[in-house]
Structure 1
Amino acid sequence: MRRILIVEDEAIIRQALKKLLERNDYQVDDAGCVDDALKFSLENYDLVISDLRLPGRPGTDLIREVKHCPVLIMTSYASLRSAVDAMREGAVDYIAKPFDHDEMLASVKRIIKQQDERQANAGSDVIPMTRRSARSDNSAPRSRMIGSCEAMQMLFRRIAKVAGTDVTVLIQGESGTGKELAARAIHEQSSRGDRPMISVNCAAIPESLIESELFGHEKGAFTGAVAARSGLIEAADTGTLFLDEVGELPLEAQARLLRVLQESEIRRVGSIQSKKVDIRLITATHRNLREMVKEGKFREDLFYRLYVMDIRMPALRERGDDIIEIADVLLERSSRKLGREDLVFSTDALHTLKRHPWPGNVRELENAIERAVILVDDAVITPDLLGIPLEDDELDQIEARLSATSSNTRQRIAPLGARAVKENLSLDDYFLRFVLEHQEEMSETELAQKLGVSRKCLWEKRQKLGIPRKK
């Protein structure tokens, strides 16, 4: 049984992580600080998971103490810079708190597997080239990317082929389709899989800071540069750099990135010296870079440097029955996260999931399911809990249930349904309007019956939507 040491000063997080790992057949010890951790025989562990900020000494001090053992750093400060600094000191990877259970387990499994490979190759007088072929299968992307449709099968095959090379990859697709998952699958299957992968969202960094963040800066290079700092490209040296939303890079930063690709070197802001770097670049965007080139918003020479190999992520609406497969996995994940058990989709909910176009793709689906898990009263998730805009036939079904009311009520329901279709109202919007228009003439029990929900559900929706009860 593999042994793991957790170093975390918050007892609740420490115990929760310990239980999670023990449920997955790991033997776990825990400590509240670095000094307590050093009381254990560290040579007996396969992995150390440590918080970055600890009382007394930082978690990175453990990296120097357990050189034989990989150290996974956790940070609740959501600071990419601090995480990158930790990896520069030797951390094998980092994970942000609050962490997703599946993500944590996947990271632990991957790190231990990589450690086994390094130990198996230790002592060999020949540089091992088998790691690349060993990673060139579909298992890595399938472990995080779900899908059985032909489009996803083609994607898995393309990832496996691309990963075995060191070429630059451009991943294209709508927002929420999983471009970063594809990038990580390429990295993990490549010969650089045991090196860091640095992910950067170019759209999230202010234009005035993007060059300093990517390329680093020297002391005094600009106001506030009180010390020299390395950039994210330098931190990715020997590993993989993933630039998400690369179309958002300003033209000046594009020119500097082009030099990195052409000369394999960087120059920090304010420096006259260049430094060689060895990175594998993967980029992603939801924008049409060809059109941006025509409009003068993206450098043509950089575009062709990035467009060596392209991968297209299929939209969720193009993936057929994959939607249900993904929804089941997301439902299980959200149920576990929120402490719910044995939740299932109703037949109508499954029909709604397959029919909805999902403009936000998997991210929208995940949010809809988490919302439903929070709102559901019993064990069955119905369409109204998903918050998906109504289609015409769904409105007809609701109006048919409500049509047993008085003639006056029926006259008022018809225009309400018409407005819902015209204005593309969600079920919550429809619920809100129906209650406001009919609560003067109906009791709470009658309202719940006509809407097809329980009185408790009606009350909860009033609280959620801020609908006051009639006096």
Structure 2
Amino acid sequence: MPHILIVEDETIIRSALRRLLERNQYQVSEAGSVQEAQERFSISSFDLIISDLRLPGAPGTELIKLGEGTPVLIMTSYASLRSAVDSMKMGAVDYIAKPFDHDEMLQAAARILRDRQNTPAAAAAERPANKPGADKPAAQNANGDIGIIGSCPPMQDLYSKIRKVAPTDSNVLIQGESGTGKELVARALHNLSKRAKAPMISVNCAAIPETLIESELFGHEKGAFTGASAGRAGLVEAADGGTLFLDEIGELPLEAQARLLRVLQEGEIRRVGSVQSQKVDVRLIAATHRDLKSLAKLGQFREDLYYRLHVIALKLPPLRERGADVGEIAKAFLIRQSARIGRTDLRFAADAEQAIRQYSWPGNVRELENAVERSVILSESTEISAELLGIDIELADLQDTDDFLGLPAQQGGANNTAHDPTEDLSLEDYFQHFVLEHQDHMTETELARKLGVSRKCLWERRQRLGIPRRKSSVASES
């Protein structure tokens, strides 16, 4: 069991963080200052140190030296976010802004511990004990180095591209709907690159106020603006030698885009208020759910920056297009959420599994994770029903329905034979063919039931494929 040291002077935060980590099978020790930690513990014996930046006496960064190689995760308030940059330069493995989301903290801790375990020294230490089946895990989990769940063809294609692109220094643009896991792809690209030992700095461009974004990214000199009492390095500078991940880059103001273009073209930055430029070696990975090419045509995104970013484009498919991956991901979330509350007996009921398969998941993986977490918390028996998932799907439509992925030739007599052979059609073609053929004599509910989807899903597919409802179909339900 990994042993984590928390160093935080605020008792409430320290206690809450301890409970969170202990619920997730970590052994935890705590201290209120660096001095207390030194007096009570052998600091280098821990697997991970999580420390506040500002502490009574010595700052949290002092633990980097005292830990003698133990990874240190620095916590900092948003107001002092720029100070975290200096922490990274001093050797902190990552930082997290307070107030932090519980999942964000758990993911950061798990990632740091996993990275530490995968270092050559750790791998060599484990090899003798695992001689007989040393190669088994890799064989069983072909995308284990990627760290993303799923094996559908679009994801296998994505894994292949990640492995090809990661070792290069090319800029990468990750495209996909919100909640599809774009940061996981960015993390995989960094971890599989030659920059893996250097920091990966993640910035959500939509989360930083427009007035602060240039200072946050590029730093500033003392007196550059009101309140700039000292010079500060920016996040681009903090990523020097490593990777800069800009999430939601479509939200970046045009002025900041111009500065970012200079970083990509010249490999240099100039702090706000400075006349001096300095060289930086940064690999840029950007992500967006927006169509940057269309934004460029509208003048809302720099066209030259778009083409600089678009060296390699990776497209993440939405969850509704990943087939059996949905069930696999849901089960992984169920295992994780069950472990948090100390239960190992929970499983999905048949109607819940069917609902998970049939629902369109507009919020993608993030929505699925939230639905599973909700169901685990509310479950009073060992079986989780579809109702507990809290998703917008008609439960009545889950009974006696055909799975859309395995649709048989429907009964329609002569109508069916007139459009032979249906087996040569794609799923979308088959859907369109079936709806157009039967909507004159079936209600929307009957159509949805025959197709094995909810009425909401039927409506969404109509919208996506541009299939209008005929008047006779509408009249039949009025």
Matched, 1:92 2:97: no
Aligned AA (2:112): S
Q: Does the aligned pair in 2 maintain the 1:62–1:71 contact within 8 Å?
A: no
Q: Which moved more, 1:369-378 or 1:206-215?
A: 369-378
Partner residue, 1:189:
192
- Aligned mates of 2:241, 2:61 — CA distance in 1: 21
Matched, 1:207 2:210: yes
Q: Secondary structure at the match of 1:157?
A: helix
Aligned AA (1:374): I
Q: Secondary structure at the match of 2:301?
A: coil
Shift of 1:308: 0.4
Deviations 1:70-90 (A, max 9, x none): 332242746643433321222
- Aligned mates of 1:321, 1:289 — CA distance in 2: 30
Shift of 1:65: 3.0
Instruction: Specify whether residues 233 and 368 from structure 1 end up closer, same or farther in structure 2 by C-alpha distance, changes over 3 A only.
Output: same
| Equivalent residue in structure 1 for 2:172, among 165, 169, 174 | 169
Q: Does the aligned pair in 1 maintain the 2:116–2:122 contact within 8 Å?
A: no
Query: Where does 1:409-420 land on structure 2 (aligned, <5 Å)?
Result: none
Q: Secondary structure at the match of 1:212?
A: helix
Partner residue, 1:104:
109
Deviations 1:70-126 (A, max 9, x none): 332242746643433321222122356554445423321213433738999xxxxxx
Partner residue, 2:35:
35
- Aligned mates of 2:53, 2:25 — CA distance in 1: 20
- Aligned mates of 2:330, 2:339 — CA distance in 1: 14
- Aligned mates of 1:175, 1:20 — CA distance in 2: 27
Shift of 1:341: 4.2
Q: Does the aligned pair in 2 maintain the 1:50–1:73 contact within 8 Å?
A: yes
Shift of 1:219: 1.6
Q: Does the aligned pair in 2 maintain the 1:179–1:313 contact within 8 Å?
A: yes
Matched, 1:345 2:358: no
Partner residue, 2:357:
354
Matched, 1:374 2:385: no
Shift of 1:206: 1.6
Matched, 1:140 2:141: no
Aligned AA (2:65): R
Deviations 1:223-250 (A, max 9, x none): 2222211111011111100001111111
| Equivalent residue in structure 1 for 2:231, among 217, 228, 244 | 228
Partner residue, 1:298:
301
Q: Does the aligned pair in 1 maintain the 2:64–2:72 contact within 8 Å?
A: no
Q: Secondary structure at the match of 2:82?
A: helix
Partner residue, 1:245:
248
- Aligned mates of 2:17, 2:229 — CA distance in 1: 35
- Aligned mates of 1:19, 1:341 — CA distance in 2: 14
Matched, 1:330 2:328: no
Shift of 1:305: 0.4
Partner residue, 2:277:
274
Deviations 1:242-287 (A, max 9, x none): 0011111111111111111000000111111001101010000001
Aligned AA (1:188): N
Instruction: Specify whether residues 58 and 118 from structure 1 end up closer, same or farther in structure 2 by C-alpha distance, changes over 3 A only.
Output: farther
Partner residue, 1:179:
182
- Aligned mates of 2:8, 2:216 — CA distance in 1: 29
Q: Secondary structure at the match of 1:170?
A: strand
Shift of 1:43: 5.3
Aligned AA (1:372): S
Shift of 1:203: 1.0
Partner residue, 1:443:
none
Partner residue, 1:465:
none
Instruction: Specify whether residues 21 and 81 from structure 1 end up closer, same or farther in structure 2 by C-alpha distance, changes over 3 A only.
Output: farther
Q: Secondary structure at the match of 1:204?
A: coil
Q: Which moved more, 1:353-362 or 1:76-85?
A: 76-85
Partner residue, 1:263:
266
Q: Secondary structure at the match of 2:284?
A: strand
Q: Secondary structure at the match of 2:228?
A: coil
- Aligned mates of 2:154, 2:23 — CA distance in 1: 38
Instruction: Specify whether residues 395 and 343 from structure 1 end up closer, same or farther in structure 2 by C-alpha distance, changes over 3 A only.
Output: closer
Q: Does the aligned pair in 1 maintain the 2:23–2:341 contact within 8 Å?
A: no
Shift of 1:290: 1.0
Q: Does the aligned pair in 1 maintain the 2:267–2:279 contact within 8 Å?
A: yes
- Aligned mates of 1:425, 1:301 — CA distance in 2: 41
Instruction: Specify whether residues 393 and 188 from structure 1 end up closer, same or farther in structure 2 by C-alpha distance, changes over 3 A only.
Output: same
Matched, 1:216 2:236: no
Q: Secondary structure at the match of 1:184?
A: helix
- Aligned mates of 2:113, 2:364 — CA distance in 1: 28
Q: Secondary structure at the match of 1:203?
A: coil
- Aligned mates of 1:76, 1:340 — CA distance in 2: 33
Instruction: Specify whether residues 321 and 14 from structure 1 end up closer, same or farther in structure 2 by C-alpha distance, changes over 3 A only.
Output: same
Instruction: Specify whether residues 341 and 55 from structure 1 end up closer, same or farther in structure 2 by C-alpha distance, changes over 3 A only.
Output: farther
Q: Does the aligned pair in 1 maintain the 2:23–2:340 contact within 8 Å?
A: no
Deviations 1:155-207 (A, max 9, x none): 11111111110100000000000000000000011011011110011111122
Partner residue, 2:121:
116
Q: Does the aligned pair in 2 maintain the 1:340–1:373 contact within 8 Å?
A: no
Instruction: Specify whether residues 29 and 245 from structure 1 end up closer, same or farther in structure 2 by C-alpha distance, changes over 3 A only.
Output: closer
Could you tell me the TM-score, scaled by structure 1's length? 0.72
Q: Which moved more, 1:331-340 or 1:370-379?
A: 331-340
Partner residue, 2:82:
81
Partner residue, 2:410:
none
Number of residues paired by the alignment? 381
Q: Which moved more, 1:355-364 or 1:45-54?
A: 45-54
Q: Secondary structure at the match of 2:314?
A: strand
- Aligned mates of 1:11, 1:280 — CA distance in 2: 38
Percent same amino acid at aligned positions? 57
Query: Where does 1:9-28 land on structure 2 (aligned, <5 Å)?
Result: 10-11=14-15, 13-14=17-18, 17=21
Aligned AA (2:186): A
Q: Which moved more, 1:82-91 or 1:222-231?
A: 82-91
Q: Which moved more, 1:153-162 or 1:364-373?
A: 364-373
Which 5+ residue runs of structure 2 have no aligned equivalent?
126-141, 401-444, 446-454, 458-478
Aligned AA (1:140): D
Partner residue, 1:123:
none
Q: Secondary structure at the match of 2:155?
A: helix
- Aligned mates of 1:54, 1:30 — CA distance in 2: 13
Instruction: Specify whether residues 345 and 262 from structure 1 end up closer, same or farther in structure 2 by C-alpha distance, changes over 3 A only.
Output: same
Q: Secondary structure at the match of 1:198?
A: strand
Aligned AA (2:118): K
Which 5+ residue runs of structure 1 have no aligned equivalent?
121-136, 398-416, 418-423, 427-471
- Aligned mates of 1:278, 1:207 — CA distance in 2: 25
Matched, 1:284 2:287: yes
Q: Does the aligned pair in 2 maintain the 1:138–1:157 contact within 8 Å?
A: no
Partner residue, 1:444:
none
